[in-house]
Structure 1
Amino acid sequence: MRMGHGLRVLSVYEGFFTGGARIVHSDVVLGLREGGQHHRVLSVHGEVHREATRQRMEDDACYRTLTAAGVGVTSLGRTFGPDRTDPAAFTGPELADTARATADADVILSLKEQPLALLNQAGLPRRPVVVCLHRSDPENQGRALDDLKAAIADGTVAACVCCAESTRAAYEAAGIPSGLLHVIPNGVDLIRFRPDPAGRLALRTSLGIGDPTAPVIVFAARYDGMKNVPLFLRAARAWLAEEPDGHILMCGAGMTPANPGLEADITAAFGADRDDLTPRLHRLGVRRDMEKVYAAADVVSLTSSWGEAAPLCLIEGMMCGAVPVATDVGDSAAIVRGHGIVTPPDPEVIARAWTTAATSRDTFTPALTASRERFSRTRMIASYAALIDRVSAGAGRRTLPEPL
């Protein structure tokens, strides 16, 4: 079993599509590779249709970043969508591709528990698996929790990385042995995510926000029920009605005028009587320059109802100088506390919190600046490296038997 710089690690993704978990994991892969490990990625799906968006693997920002850095990425070629293939049924060629990929690895990282439906298939080479968990609602993941428990019972899972304390608590309550659960909080690149006055001005100018003092709120989330977009939009209506110079930026998969679900939500929230407010509601979709978007904002907001663990948007926004305002889901309150405002799921209260956060931004700046090391990418990657080394060392002492 190789150790340290010679270690070969395979990450298995359900697919490449915009989301915080994939961004974090891809950054971890890059960081571990920079440290000398050998990394490859296998994606179950080559194309994903969700959030009213068609996302080809080759078009995804994480895919492009990984391959540009020399990380090999392959796919089983499946399409995830309304008529998707049974997630637990795999063809002979798919299993053969998976067997070749896993045979060449010392340790396997599973991005969340969904890829375990593949890794649990009989006949694959036995390698220790580290499952990277990024939610706080294991019971709301379909069959994935059962797949995780089956892999643990089989002895395949050597460890689970929890990106938040709420994740650890939720999975322990769901029956996952506490000894397997290791908390490694999310971190971000502090060089990329930082206050940027020039970028702030340029982004605002590109959106037609001429007043440099105009308050701006950013909502960075995919169009999904857990994000409670209707609640956010009701707060947006209340806030825009009180802030004649204010603007709201909505970013993420499905946050475009081409998404009929979002447009219906906007109509329901604003009504025909206040459609004069919607020109200041910018639907920007998926962005490749989120550091500039956050730098342009005064507040980064999240209105999720469930499922969140350690939301990346709150951390990235904070590091760029935006004050976080969020509902109390997962570790959101722990991240925001002392740096911003935690709110109940009430649109009027949220709107008032946005105003307070925007007008008091300077008072939050010292706390945001002092917390930068806590949310460091370097700290996160070092913790992943140490855990993977321990898993590798343990597998070297107790070699898993190959299937008959």
Structure 2
Amino acid sequence: MLSVYEGFFTGGARILHSDVVLGLQEGGQHHRVLSVHGEVLREATRQPMRDDACYRSLTAAGVQVTSLGRTYGLPEDAAGDPAVFTGPELAETARAMAGADVILSLKEQPLGLLNQRGLPRRPVVVSLHRSDPENQGGALDELKAAIADGTVVACVCCAESTRAAYEAAGIPAGLLHVIPNGVDLLRFRPDPARRVRLRAALGIPDQAPVVVFAARYDAMKNVPLFLRAARAWLRREPAGHVLMCGSGMTEDQPGLRADIEAAFGDDARLADRLHLLGVRRDMENVYAAADVVALTSAWGEAAPLCLIEGMMCGAVPVATDVGDSAAIVSGHGFVTPPDPDAIASAWDDAVAARADLAPVLAGSRERFSRTRMIASYAALIDRVHAEAVRQPLPEPFRP
């Protein structure tokens, strides 16, 4: 198996896909990963591949990870068309593909590489993790081209909203398979000791209500709306604290600083209880310390990992109705309109209901199991491989 990544940078899709690769390798498949970019600049954060948590977990498990060595968004980027690949890059890709029976593409962006002429013919399964295919630049066209060519033989949708959006965009329904996201239930679980330790490290009292917002700094996440809700909630909850973590959620992100100033205005003192944690490698501790896991996204979400991971650690989810968020939250938390006062009120309700909802959250753990997700991926890949053996794809014509 070969997985092709656009690059290694923080985000739920990469975390989820990397966990799938690890799970499939644990189950006996042999996997390697090829990354188009070796370093990226996103959310004002420079992210080298070798510093990435997913890269480290994959290589620690024996998964070979290589890169074409490209950079993205950095000052030293070479000028030129990013869709034009060099001879050495195509040769490296061909060598990686030749050793694989099936290829997994992390989202549709790597298809710009896999669609290049002259590469070995292998069945490709594309993992789709958003509900807005029209906002993915030229990637949707690359997906359609790969389907028309017969290269893409299946698409894994992490949510029903993903399946519906891509079918509406013209992807054949028979290629779209829904495999809901799952998480490691041993890692993500309520843990009083973790809760106490993280709160102590941040100077937060044991009984203080805490809201966590785990997202990268991106317009899709609607950070200004979250901050306006945080101001409204902190004004009415004098003991409350808000945690913000993810790529770009730091003091040195100018956009975030401006958003905080705009949201809090004359109530800047309230921001003393706003904790900017940046990228964390211990999200199980952060969620365990929280009472509420919040999401205020405006578009693009499919099955947000933050809601699932937070719930499994005992935090009550409160989310806007984007993608499958409402279906995930249903019966476990609260869905809100994109209004800061309504969101702040829902956080109050979530804090008050946390003890009553604990048995409900505990009872839903199997639904969000990583084991279930990995087994579904393995079954689909086995089917794709069996069909490819029966009907091998023709090699491209070489004059």
Equivalent residue in structure 2 for 1:324, among 317, 327, 330: 317
Alignment of 1:202-351 (within 5 A): 202-209=197-204, 211-271=205-265, 273-351=266-344
For 2:350 and 2:9, locate their aligned partners in 1 and report how far apart those are by CA, in whole Å: 31
For 1:51 and 1:374, locate their aligned partners in 2 and report how far apart those are by CA, in whole Å: 32
For 1:86 and 1:141, locate their aligned partners in 2 and report how far apart those are by CA, in whole Å: 17
Number of residue-to-residue matches in the alignment: 394
TM-score normalised to structure 1 length = 0.97
Is 1:152 equivalent to 2:147 in the alignment? yes
How far does residue 86 in structure 1 lie from its aligned partner after superposition? 2.8
Equivalent residue in structure 2 for 1:17, among 1, 9, 19: 9
TM-score normalised to structure 2 length = 0.98
Alignment partner, residue 63 of structure 1: 55
Give, as a single letter, the amino acid of the residue that structure 2 aligns with 1:382: A
Is 1:48 equivalent to 2:40 in the alignment? yes
How far does residue 87 in structure 1 lie from its aligned partner after superposition? 3.0
How far does residue 47 in structure 1 lie from its aligned partner after superposition? 0.2
How far does residue 367 in structure 1 lie from its aligned partner after superposition? 1.0
Q: Deviations over 1:90-134 (max 9, x none)?
A: 011000000000000000000000000000000000000000000
Alignment partner, residue 4 of structure 1: none
For 2:81 and 2:212, locate their aligned partners in 1 and report how far apart those are by CA, in whole Å: 37
Equivalent residues of 2:33, 2:63 under 8 A apart:
yes
Q: Deviations over 1:21-75 (max 9, x none)?
A: 0000000000000000000000000001010100000000000000000000000
For 1:80 and 1:239, locate their aligned partners in 2 and report how far apart those are by CA, in whole Å: 38
Is 1:399 equivalent to 2:392 in the alignment? yes
For 2:211 and 2:82, locate their aligned partners in 1 and report how far apart those are by CA, in whole Å: 38
How far does residue 82 in structure 1 lie from its aligned partner after superposition? 6.0
Give, as a single letter, the amino acid of the residue that structure 2 aligns with 1:225: A
How far does residue 81 in structure 1 lie from its aligned partner after superposition? 0.7
For 1:73 and 1:390, locate their aligned partners in 2 and report how far apart those are by CA, in whole Å: 25
Secondary structure, counterpart of 1:172 in structure 2? helix
For 1:286 and 1:212, locate their aligned partners in 2 and report how far apart those are by CA, in whole Å: 23
Secondary structure, counterpart of 1:283 in structure 2? strand
How far does residue 173 in structure 1 lie from its aligned partner after superposition? 0.2
Identity of aligned residues (%): 80
For 2:88 and 2:69, locate their aligned partners in 1 and report how far apart those are by CA, in whole Å: 11
For 2:237 and 2:44, locate their aligned partners in 1 and report how far apart those are by CA, in whole Å: 31
Alignment of 1:158-169 (within 5 A): 158-169=153-164
For 1:113 and 1:281, locate their aligned partners in 2 and report how far apart those are by CA, in whole Å: 36
Alignment partner, residue 184 of structure 1: 179
Structure 1 stretches of at least 4 aligned residues deviating more than 2 Å after TM superposition? 82-87
Equivalent residues of 2:40, 2:74 under 8 A apart:
no
Q: Unaligned regions of 5+ residues in structure 1, if any? A: 1-8
For 2:356 and 2:142, locate their aligned partners in 1 and report how far apart those are by CA, in whole Å: 47
For 1:243 and 1:53, locate their aligned partners in 2 and report how far apart those are by CA, in whole Å: 32
For 1:382 and 1:170, locate their aligned partners in 2 and report how far apart those are by CA, in whole Å: 25
Equivalent residues of 1:87, 1:117 under 8 A apart:
no
Is 1:36 equivalent to 2:23 in the alignment? no
Alignment partner, residue 196 of structure 2: 201
Q: Unaligned regions of 5+ residues in structure 2, if any? A: none
Equivalent residues of 2:8, 2:55 under 8 A apart:
yes
Alignment partner, residue 362 of structure 2: 369
